[in-house]
Every structure is written in C-alpha cells, then in structure tokens.
Amino acid sequence: MPSSSSVYVPIEPLMEKIGSIYKLVIIAARRALELNEGAPPLVEADPKAKPSTVALAEIAAGKVSVKAKRKTEGL
C-alpha cells in the first residue's frame, strides 16, 4: 500500500502520450537519472518522492517528451 507521501501516476495516459511501454521506460529512466544527478524537477514534487516517480509525473504533465531521432544518410 502506498504511503501518504507517495504519488500514484497512472500508466494508461502515459501510454497514450508515448505509444510504447518500452519508450516510456527508457524516457522515464533517463529523466530519473538526470533528477538523481541534481537536475531540478519540472513539476512540484514531494522532496521524498523517488526520481522515477517524479519523472513519470513530469511525463504525465507534458514537461518531458520524446525527440525523434533523424536517421543519418548513408547509415
């Protein structure tokens, strides 16, 4: 059972935004690493919240998005 300081971020809306559970996991993990290394959160978050939870909240709020990689010619 989640504690009163934890935040529940529903996965379904995130899946609609990102389109793939695999992309979602990669994006959230990369952002969580940034947060863990000292990057400021882009949404209001409990200081006790885990970086992964904050990352998911940022994605849900539309503050973090996917950049499409352009394929380089000749590769």
Domain boundaries, the chain: 19-60
Sequence-distant (6+) residues with CB within 8 A of 11 are 24
What predicted TM-score, i.e. pTM, was given to this entire model? 0.78
DSSP H stretches of helix in the chain: 11-18, 21-36, 51-60
In which residue ranges of the chain is pLDDT below 70? 1-6, 70-75
Per the CB < 8 A criterion, the answer to whether 59 and 18 are in contact is yes
Render pLDDT for 6-20 as a digit per residue (tens, 0 to 9).
678 888 899 888 989
* Cα 66 from Cα 30, distance rounded (Å): 11
